């Protein structure tokens, strides 16, 4: 669900603003949309590590946890730019994710 969560944030300026303002509360709201008595799906589920990474806005951890690099980069841009200038964000992102190697998409 990492990719689904990232997509739900970066697709709306309002969602980005809400997430940046209080990431933990945003994660809680998103998770509350999971299965319940009147829902048949549990498609809003995160592991403890995923949840913690989203609450910290920790893109390095999300990459290591298997976030899709394309979606992750767009999420990073939405969350951190313009607070961090794009060239600097690009440099930081590459430096941090490179430690984890190239992702494997074998399924």
The reported pTM is 0.85
Q: How many other C-beta atoms lie within 10 A of the C-beta of residue 22?
A: 12
The answer to whether the peptide bond before residue 82 is cis (omega within 30 degrees of 0) is yes
Structure tokens at 105: 């998409």
**What is residue 30's three-state secondary structure?**
helix
* Window from 13-17, 20-24, 40-44 with minimum mean pLDDT: 40-44
- pLDDT value of position 80: 94
- pLDDT value of position 19: 97
39-75 pLDDT, tens digit per residue, is: 545 567 899 999 999 999 999 999 999 999 999 999 9
Distance, CA of 41 to CA of 43 (rounded, Å): 5
């Amino acid at each position: 669900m990492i990719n689904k969560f990232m997509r739900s944030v970066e697709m709306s300026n309002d969602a980005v603003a809400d997430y940046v303002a209080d990431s933990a509360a945003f994660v809680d709201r998103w998770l509350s949309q999971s299965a319940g008595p009147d829902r048949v799906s549990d498609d809003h589920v995160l592991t403890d590590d995923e949840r913690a990474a989203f609450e910290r806005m920790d893109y390095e951890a999300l990459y290591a946890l298997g976030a899709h690099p394309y979606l992750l980069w767009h999420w990073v841009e939405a969350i951190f730019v313009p607070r961090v200038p794009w060239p600097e964000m690009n440099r930081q992102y590459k430096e941090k994710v490179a430690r984890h190697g190239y992702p494997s998409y074998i399924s």
